[in-house]
């Protein structure tokens, strides 16, 4: 089993993450959309039982902007997947990795999305602090236009 390890989606944690992004980035948040069923498109808010949020942000690391897809599960697993044209990376916590050689808190780098490297994010909860840490890694890369700076920080959040 993968992310969530069979645990239900945590809609409240997704909402906390989105709210924290809005607080941190202000006008840098261009649009927020939600997914309600796996494989369905992201759309405007329609209810409470969301599966994922997509937060479109500006600026981007190499482009004018990008977006973060965010998911949380009740067992504490999470996924923050950033994309812009020609670039993507992902931070995650996957409890199922405890029985493997892969780190529980991990980073999938732009150069190899299948790799599971140790994450520079040293906390697992609450969603607000994890979100701040993800934004710090992203912002370091945005400021320099250098994707190699993502996951290069220490002591986050």
**Can you give the C-alpha Rg of the chain in angstroms?**
15
Residue 135, domain member (yes or no): yes
Q: CA-to-CA distance for 145 and 63, rounded, in angstroms?
A: 9
10 Å CB burial of residue 86 (0-12, 13-18, 19+) is exposed
Residue 40, domain member (yes or no): yes
- Residue 14 has a pLDDT of 97
- Lowest-confidence range among 5-9, 39-43, 126-130, 149-153? 5-9
To which residue do tokens 């140790």 refer? 118
Domain encompassing residue 91? 11-149
Residue-wise pLDDT for 101-142, tens only, equals 999 999 999 989 999 999 999 888 999 999 999 999 999 999
Residue 1, domain member (yes or no): no
Number of domains in the chain: 1
**CA distance to 40, 77, 109, 137, per residue, from 119 (Å):** 29, 13, 10, 10
- State the pTM of this model: 0.94
Beta-carbon neighbour count of residue 136 at 10 Å?
15
Q: What is the side-by-side order of every strand in the sheet holding 105-108?
A: 29-35, 52-57, 66-72, 78-84, 87-93, 105-108, 117-118
**Mean residue pLDDT across the chain:** 94
Beta-carbon neighbour count of residue 8 at 10 Å?
10
Residue 155, domain member (yes or no): no
- Residue 1 has a pLDDT of 57
What's the whole-number mean pLDDT along residues 63-88?
96
What's the whole-number mean pLDDT along residues 70-78?
96
Query: 115: Cβ–Cβ under 8 A, 6 or more apart, which residues?
Result: 108, 109
Residue 139, domain member (yes or no): yes
Residue 26, domain member (yes or no): yes
Residue-wise pLDDT for 47-72, tens only, equals 878 999 999 999 999 999 999 999 99
> With 80 as the cut, is the pLDDT of residue 2 above it?
no
- Residue 139 has a pLDDT of 96
Residue 127, domain member (yes or no): yes
To which residue do tokens 């977006």 refer? 67
- Residue 103 has a pLDDT of 94
Residue 157, domain member (yes or no): no
């Amino acid at each position: 089993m993968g992310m969530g390890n069979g645990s239900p989606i945590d809609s409240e944690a997704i909402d906390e993450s989105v709210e924290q992004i809005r607080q941190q980035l202000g006008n840098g948040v261009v649009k927020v959309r939600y997914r309600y069923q796996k494989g369905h498109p992201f759309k405007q808010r329609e209810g409470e039982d969301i599966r994922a949020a997509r937060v479109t942000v500006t600026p981007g690391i190499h482009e004018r902007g990008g977006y973060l897809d965010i998911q949380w599960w009740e067992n504490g697993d999470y996924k923050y997947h950033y994309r812009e044209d020609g670039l993507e990376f992902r931070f995650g916590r996957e409890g199922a990795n405890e029985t493997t050689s892969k780190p529980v808190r991990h980073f999938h780098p732009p150069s190899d999305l299948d790799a599971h490297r140790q994450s520079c994010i040293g906390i697992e909860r609450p969603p607000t602090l994890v979100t701040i840490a993800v934004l710090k890694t992203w912002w370091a890369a945005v400021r320099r236009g250098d994707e190699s700076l993502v996951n290069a920080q220490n002591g986050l959040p």
